[in-house]
Amino acid sequence: MKRVFNFSAGPATLPLSVLEEARAELLDYQGTGRSIMEMSHRSPEYTAIDAEAKERLHSLMGLDDRFHIMFLQGGASAQFMQIPFNLLREDQAADYIDTGRWSAKAIKEAKRFGKVNVAYSSANANYDHVPTDDQLSLSENAAYVHYTSNNTVCGTQFPKEPETKGIPLVCDASSDILSRPIDVDRYGLIYAGAQKNIGPAGVTVVIIRDDLLQASKTEDVPTILRYQTHAEKIFNTPPVFAVYMVNKVLKWAQDQGGVDYFETFNRKKADLLYQIIDEDDFYQGTTQKDSRSLMNVTFRLPNEELESRFLEEAKTHDLYALKGHRSVGGIRTSIYNAMPMEGVQTLGNFMKEFRNQNG
């Protein structure tokens, strides 16, 4: 068997031990003679997994019992619609911070449901930064403030939660959930497609605070799209295999030392790459230093021909999926929780070697 260092932005690399465990259990889950994929979602085996995964996530993120966790489908993209559908009434406004491709999509969807105030946009600067608190133009009585904590495509990340003067934050944490501690009191809702930092594609984690849930709309919202439908019980067949995998990744994350551990670990990995980028002009970071992401490190080489060669030669060192998003080009290295230090070191050494030969 050959495993490469996989820097894919998502679906992203998973911990090897998790994949191995899943392989061992694939045909016979805990002596049941069946795979978890072949069992009712009402079976004791599956409901135990669902409960355990939620408990682990509560504990890892430091969520108290005000927070409800749901395992939904439709990707983070479905939340762009489901959030305003449930939380934004026609006579209300919501504030959105536009820091990248995904926040722009969230804004576009929210406008279908109510008034949207764009509190800040870095679109004119190619999304190369996130705003500071004093740059935000927040409205007086917004239902919520939506932001994207880590911008996967352009490689920026909020260093901390934006200050919203008591208005609950709604956060697309798809590409940095569990990568560092958060100030949970600030959040009304957190959502994340699992396929970057917590599992395989197919499940979206949505965490909602009880006061927002209770105030959420039910009239006019189709049953399947209401948060109130999903918060208290498993309503319909969930993506059972994806949730099973998420539970294993969460256990792995706990065993590693939780979000405090990952914050230090992720910073170490990102620093190693940014240091190489900053050494001279061969590699050019595409984002402002204060906004740099610890999850997606993006940079350019002197020309596109060198970038193509970089990507090709990287493969001979078992370094894969380093191509930047199709909308921006260049190189993007996604170094989520499950990317081992060894992968980043191998990449760093390759970057230095490539620069020596082509710089």
Nearer to ligand PMP, 130 or 351 (CB): 130
CB of 98 to ligand PMP, least distance (A): 13
Nearer to ligand PMP, 173 or 351 (CB): 173
- When CB distances to ligand PMP are compared, the closest residue is 75
CB of 193 to ligand PMP, least distance (A): 3
Nearer to ligand PMP, 170 or 351 (CB): 170
Largest CA distance in the chain: 64
Residues near 228 by beta carbon (within 8 Å), at least 6 away in sequence = 213, 216, 218
Q: Which of 54, 176, 196, 248 is labelled catalytic? A: 196
CB of 42 to ligand PMP, least distance (A): 26
Nearer to ligand PMP, 193 or 330 (CB): 193
Q: 3-class DSSP state for residue 277?
A: helix
Q: Which of 172, 251, 269, 323 is labelled catalytic? A: 172
Buried b (16+ CB within 10 A) or exposed e, 162-182: bebeebbbbbbbbbbbbbbeb
Active site residue 102: yes
Residues near 3 by beta carbon (within 8 Å), at least 6 away in sequence = 16
CB of 179 to ligand PMP, least distance (A): 12
CB of 152 to ligand PMP, least distance (A): 3
**Helix runs in 2-64, H state only:** 16-25, 44-61
Q: 3-class DSSP state for residue 131?
A: coil
CB of 75 to ligand PMP, least distance (A): 3
Element (H, E) at 247: helix 240-256
Residues near 314 by beta carbon (within 8 Å), at least 6 away in sequence = 320, 322, 347, 350
Nearer to ligand PMP, 75 or 348 (CB): 75
Q: Which of 50, 54, 95, 102 is labelled catalytic? A: 102
List contacts with ligand PMP (CB under 6 A).
10, 75-77, 102, 148, 152, 172, 174-175, 193
| Beta strand ranges found along 1-143 (DSSP E) | 5-6, 67-72, 93-98, 115-121
Q: 């209300």: which residue's tokens?
A: 92
Nearer to ligand PMP, 10 or 285 (CB): 10
Element (H, E) at 267: helix 258-279
Q: What would you report as the CA-atom Rg of the chain, rounded to the nearest whole angstrom?
A: 21
Q: 3-class DSSP state for residue 93?
A: strand
Positions marked active-site: 102, 172, 196
